[in-house]
């Protein structure tokens, strides 16, 4: 006990804690959030101090006398050098902005939504939540970055986290964030460097992230004489459970959801968000299960006085109220109706939220709405492409996307993009789509068809002349519609001057019995929201953006009866089933969230404490996304440079990159059989980036296709179609 007390007083003295924190106080109540953060800092300090490269032995020879003052001085020098070495820089976001700084940051004048977001932040001197609801393509990203910069400057914060639904959207946001930081660094001229991290399982394959990591100097062993401001990605932060610790982080929303989950090292995740502004995009995309984690995370962020910016195309009133109350407390008064578009704010301690309506008449867009029979899809897409229209086709399942591609590929220029391509092939396709159809596309094609799944639905800043989409819940249909005529000043083909959306994947809509819903769509979204979406769109010939968005979303997610009387029996059954499922999902998620910050002590906060070796474990992903466990595999195509993967020798850097480039996720139906039949090669098991990967070896069949049998199914891979999964033929 004496040694512990001496050590405590030593730390207290070095840190100056007695004078700063508890002088003349018998007891100090930090609050649960600060206690959790303090625990995280202890873990972090232990990790850094345990690194023998950063902290070599200090005793000069065996016979020298150990002197406390000398040890302390040298330790402080080493600690400072170590923090610099791992990239632990905390940039300043500068003083209050003046002049047309928004134009300097983004290259254009702020619109009404961006002005409103900036003005809302300027009014508050404390941590707050800002909810920006605006139509697709309205510049919510720039509004969030500008608001975050102002928040950081006003509150003395020095970091940023941006969370998005998918890896594809994270990659694009990473690119846009780097552009913003480049301008900020140049114009602010404070001499600060920006250390950034891309936080998801395929980050290693993103080209800009690779380039930043390959910069010299990097991480441990940094050149002490190099003080030039720069933007870099330091290797230390790419390690397991360290990604959130980087000053500026862009990644999947899982990173912040796990801050409210019962997992090991949750305290370290809390530390990762301290001192940052947290931005969460596409809030409407998070279902009932994920929302439990999101709301609990908001409670802890508020307890830690961390400001939050939420972005959404539009939200059901109940969801909006739930998010605001999670941050500010259940006592918060939230209006049942909010104008649209709008910026809603609530500062910690406020008793009611403030919502500011934004005028958006100048960008009103009317979209022509049509219903398209599934059997006519191929013919209509080909006809529109022949007339020069660029057509985006979004199907709800990978199988349907692949089948549509096969039928259309002989009709002209067609590309396919979904989640079952290898990491390298998918990134190449994503880059091609954004290059051809992005805001700054220099060589926009004519008459091209891009077929995909939900990976094309969110946050991708791309523009097409017409959209063909499977029926989906109303908010997702509207979100997909944001890919049509998104950018101004594009010359449209004749007949496509008005944006069009064609909805397919549903039977004939009559006033008799309820329509037949595509089985794949039902498997993904369930029949309840699909039928209600069909009901609100049934008799419409046009959609007006943004005017119609809140009305349609509120109607579908309300309790009012929708659709013809002939649909009522089926609708009632679907609603009862959906309500029971929502209750179950909410209950399932509630078992895995940590307690609220004002309940109990830290002891037992993580009752289960799920153990994983890395952030990208399928167990963690399944935990916060209510998804069945899946398996990632490295696809070996039989090439000479992949034959060594199954050997026992360690892989060099080039081979490791080749493995990571080949990774694809198997569908959930193959998880158990993959665990039994596919092995983790010894060389994979010894590498921190590869240790969860199993090897899927494909061989060329008599037709030249790369294939194999697994669990009664035939797996085939090609760079054109991705991974195909079909029921294996019976051998008689």
Structure-model confidence comparison of residues 516 and 172, the more confident one: 516
| C-alpha distances in Å from residue 350, one per residue of 12, 33, 129, 274, 329 | 36, 20, 11, 22, 9
- Alpha-carbon distance of 654 to 641, in angstroms, equals 10
Q: What would the DSSP string read from start to end of 78-118?
A: HHHHHHHHTT-------SS--SSHHHHHHSS---HHHHHHH
Q: Is 488 exposed, middle or buried (0-12, 13-18, 19+ CB in 10 A)?
A: exposed
Structure-model confidence comparison of residues 703 and 468, the more confident one: 468
- pLDDT over 60 (residue 671): yes
Predicted confidence band of residue 220 (pLDDT cuts 50, 70, 90): very low
Strand partners, 699: 707
> What pLDDT does 362 receive?
61
| Contacts with 310 (C-beta within 8 Å, 6 or more apart), sequence order | 129, 130, 131, 132, 279, 280, 283, 323
- Token pair for residue 53? 């490269």
- pLDDT over 50 (residue 19): yes
Averaged pLDDT, 375-385: 95
> What pLDDT does 63 receive?
45
Q: Is 412 exposed, middle or buried (0-12, 13-18, 19+ CB in 10 A)?
A: middle
> What pLDDT does 474 receive?
95
**Segment among 8-22, 31-45, 304-318, 535-549 with least mean pLDDT:** 8-22
**Segment among 93-102, 345-354, 430-439, 612-621 with least mean pLDDT:** 612-621
- pLDDT over 50 (residue 222): no
Structure-model confidence comparison of residues 167 and 517, the more confident one: 517
Averaged pLDDT, 534-562: 91
- Alpha-carbon distance of 88 to 483, in angstroms, equals 39
| C-alpha distances in Å from residue 472, one per residue of 294, 402, 576 | 23, 18, 19
> What pLDDT does 25 receive?
56
- pLDDT over 70 (residue 297): yes
Averaged pLDDT, 57-71: 56
- Alpha-carbon distance of 477 to 394, in angstroms, equals 10
Task: Specify whether the CB–CB gap between 658 and 583 falls below 8 A.
Answer: no
Of 48-62, 134-148, 523-537, the range with the highest mean pLDDT is 523-537
**Segment among 17-26, 503-512, 684-693 with least mean pLDDT:** 17-26
**Segment among 76-90, 209-223, 234-248, 687-701 with least mean pLDDT:** 209-223
Task: Specify whether the CB–CB gap between 465 and 391 falls below 8 A.
Answer: yes
> What pLDDT does 640 receive?
66
The per-residue pLDDT for range 572-618, each reduced to its tens digit, is 999 999 999 999 999 988 888 888 887 767 776 766 555 555 555 66
> What pLDDT does 69 receive?
59
- pLDDT over 90 (residue 145): yes
Q: What would the DSSP string read from start to end of 541-572?
A: SEEEETTHHHHHHHHHTSSS--S-GGGHHHHH
The per-residue pLDDT for range 705-724, each reduced to its tens digit, is 789 999 899 999 999 999 99
Strand partners, 714: 709, 726
Question: Which residue in 166, 165, 243 sits closest to 198, CA to CA?
Answer: 243
- pLDDT over 50 (residue 483): yes
The share of the chain scoring above pLDDT 70, in percent, equals: 87
Predicted confidence band of residue 59 (pLDDT cuts 50, 70, 90): low
Average pLDDT, the chain: 85
Averaged pLDDT, 126-147: 92
**Segment among 1-15, 321-335, 650-664 with least mean pLDDT:** 1-15
Strand partners, 713: 710, 727
- Alpha-carbon distance of 158 to 163, in angstroms, equals 17
- Alpha-carbon distance of 293 to 254, in angstroms, equals 10
- Token pair for residue 90? 């905390």
- Token pair for residue 61? 């020879």
Task: Tell the residue number behind the tokens 């002939």, with chain if given.
Answer: 566
- pLDDT over 80 (residue 116): yes
The per-residue pLDDT for range 298-327, each reduced to its tens digit, is 999 999 999 999 999 888 888 999 999 999
Structure-model confidence comparison of residues 271 and 704, the more confident one: 271
The per-residue pLDDT for range 189-216, each reduced to its tens digit, is 656 678 889 988 777 777 788 788 776 5
Averaged pLDDT, 125-146: 91
Predicted confidence band of residue 482 (pLDDT cuts 50, 70, 90): confident
Among left, alpha and beta (phi > 0; psi -120 to 50; other), residue 563 is: left
Predicted confidence band of residue 221 (pLDDT cuts 50, 70, 90): very low
| C-alpha distances in Å from residue 704, one per residue of 399, 614, 643, 707, 719 | 21, 38, 19, 9, 14
- Alpha-carbon distance of 41 to 272, in angstroms, equals 10
Phi, psi of 347 (to 5 degrees): -95, 155
Strand partners, 159: 276
Q: Work out whether strand 632-636 and strand 722-727 pair parallel, antiparallel, or are unpaired.
A: unpaired
> What pLDDT does 218 receive?
45
């Amino acid at each position: 006990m004496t040694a512990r007390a001496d050590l405590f007083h030593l730390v207290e003295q070095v840190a100056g804690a007695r004078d700063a924190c508890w002088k003349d106080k018998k007891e100090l109540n930090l609050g649960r959030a600060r206690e959790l953060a303090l625990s995280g800092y202890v873990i972090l300090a232990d990790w850094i101090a345990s690194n023998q490269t950063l902290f070599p032995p200090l005793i000069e020879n065996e016979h020298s006398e150990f002197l406390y003052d000398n040890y302390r001085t040298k330790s402080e020098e080493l600690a400072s050098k170590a923090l610099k070495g791992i990239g632990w820089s905390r940039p300043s976001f500068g003083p209050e902005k003046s002049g047309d700084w928004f134009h300097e940051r983004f290259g254009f004048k702020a619109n009404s939504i961006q002005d409103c977001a900036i003005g809302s932040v300027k009014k508050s001197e404390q941590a707050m939540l800002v909810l920006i609801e605006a139509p697709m393509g309205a510049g919510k990203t720039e509004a969030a970055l500008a608001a975050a910069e102002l928040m950081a400057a006003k509150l003395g914060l020095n970091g940023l986290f941006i969370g998005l639904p998918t890896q594809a959207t994270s990659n694009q946001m990473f690119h846009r964030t780097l552009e913003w930081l480049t301008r900020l660094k140049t114009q602010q001229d404070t001499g600060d460097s920006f250390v950034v991290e891309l936080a998801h399982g395929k980050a290693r394959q993103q080209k800009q992230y690779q380039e930043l990591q390959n910069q010299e100097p990097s991480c441990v062993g940094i050149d002490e004489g190099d003080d030039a401001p720069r933007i870099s990605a330091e290797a230390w932060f790419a390690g397991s459970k360290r990604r959130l610790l980087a000053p500026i982080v862009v990644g999947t929303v899982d990173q912040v959801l796990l801050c409210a989950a019962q997992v090991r090292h949750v305290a370290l995740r809390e530390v990762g968000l301290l001192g940052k502004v947290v931005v969460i995009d596409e809030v409407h995309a998070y279902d009932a299960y994920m929302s439990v984690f999101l709301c609990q995370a908001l409670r802890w962020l508020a307890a830690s006085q961390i400001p939050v910016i939420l972005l959404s195309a539009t939200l059901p009133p109940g969801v909006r109220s739930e998010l605001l109350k999670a941050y500010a407390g259940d006592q918060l008064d939230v209006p049942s109706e909010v104008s649209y578009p709008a910026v809603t704010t609530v500062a910690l301690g406020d008793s009611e939220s403030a919502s500011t309506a934004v005028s958006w008449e100048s960008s009103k867009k009317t979209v022509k709405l049509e219903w398209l029979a599934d059997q006519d899809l191929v013919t209509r897409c080909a006809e529109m492409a022949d007339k020069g229209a660029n057509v985006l086709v979004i199907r709800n399942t990978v199988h349907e996307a692949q089948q549509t591609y096969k039928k259309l590929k002989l009709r002209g220029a067609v590309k396919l993009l979904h989640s079952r391509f290898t990491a390298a092939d998918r990134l190449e396709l994503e880059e091609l789509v954004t290059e051809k159809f992005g805001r700054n596309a220099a060589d926009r094609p004519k008459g091209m068809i891009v077929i995909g799944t939900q990976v094309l639905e969110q946050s991708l800043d791309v523009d097409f002349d017409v959209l063909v989409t499977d029926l989906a819940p109303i908010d997702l249909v509207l979100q997909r519609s944001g890919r049509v005529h998104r950018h101004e000043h594009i010359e449209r083909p004749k007949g496509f001057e008005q944006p069009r959306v064609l909805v397919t994947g549903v039977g004939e809509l009559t006033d008799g019995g309820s329509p037949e819903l595509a089985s794949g769509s039902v498997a993904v979204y369930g029949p309840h929201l699909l039928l209600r979406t069909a009901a609100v769109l049934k008799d419409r010939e046009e959609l007006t953006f943004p005017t119609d968005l809140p009305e349609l979303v509120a109607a579908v997610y309300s309790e009012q009866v929708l659709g013809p009387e002939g649909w009522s029996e089926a609708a009632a059954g679907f609603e009862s089933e959906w309500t029971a499922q929502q209750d179950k999902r909410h209950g399932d998620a509630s078992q895995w969230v940590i307690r609220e910050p004002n309940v109990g002590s830290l002891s037992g906060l993580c009752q289960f404490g799920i153990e994983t070796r890395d952030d990208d474990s399928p167990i963690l992903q399944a935990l916060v996304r209510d998804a069945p466990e899946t398996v990632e595999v490295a696809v070996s195509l039989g090439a000479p440079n992949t034959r060594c993967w199954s050997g026992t020798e360690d892989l060099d850097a080039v081979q490791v990159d080749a493995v990571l480039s080949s990774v694809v996720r198997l569908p959930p139906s193959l998880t158990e059989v993959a665990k039994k039949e596919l092995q983790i090669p010894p060389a994979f098991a010894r590498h921190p980036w590869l240790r969860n990967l199993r090897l899927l070896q494909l061989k060329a069949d008599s037709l030249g296709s790369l294939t194999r049998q697994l669990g009664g199914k035939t797996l085939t891979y090609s760079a054109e179609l991705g991974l195909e999964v079909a029921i294996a033929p019976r051998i008689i």
